[in-house]
Chain A
């Protein structure tokens, strides 16, 4: 039972490159989330998926797209990376309760 897993752990991109961050959970949770964490800013919600087949924008969606591939997997795509997207990205999932379970994070550096 791995909980929430994310790949990759670390990535360096050049401005304008694209990439997809992968997230999977094995807890049969309906809701999944993508956050970014920047110093002094806490966790800010990028996108979330309340259930398979639905996605919604969070606080800071610009520059990102998401796909809820199935109940287990929720990916985050940067089509044209910018230095402002340098951050640590966390995926989380939530079941019937209020608690969110977080993955280990992806550290992204955009040069």
Chain B
């Protein structure tokens, strides 16, 4: 059975801290790994990773994939209260479907 496991499930930090969110997977067919941010409503796309060792970066957020060890991390540096959200990891299994993890709920306190 295809599995995507995120850790931690919940995290509380203070503004300015750096956080690392983890996503490990065990799937029969891997196409890509995607990170989404979910604030109040719909998840919105952050990154797509397909190759090991290549860091994707957008401002204070960065992510990297390790296809040998079957995991990805999402780093957020100098966190702000606006980073508070649920971060979802998804593995694209084929052309049409993806398996999502349970998400990490990040709370950034002022």
List B residues at the A interface (Cβ < 8 Å). 4, 6, 9, 31-32, 34, 41-45, 48, 88, 90, 92, 95-103
Contact = CB atoms under 8 A, between A and B. Distances in A.
A83 B59 CA distance: 43
B92 A102 contact: no
A105 B103 CA distance: 17
A58 B100 CA distance: 12
Contacts of A94: 96
Interface residues of A, number: 26
A59 B102 CA distance: 14
Contacts of B100: 35, 42-44
B33 to A, nearest CB: 9
Given A40-B102, A42-B4, A43-B90, 11 more contacts: A35-B100, A42-B6, A42-B101, A45-B98, A56-B96, A90-B42, A98-B31, A99-B34, A100-B90, A103-B42, A105-B42
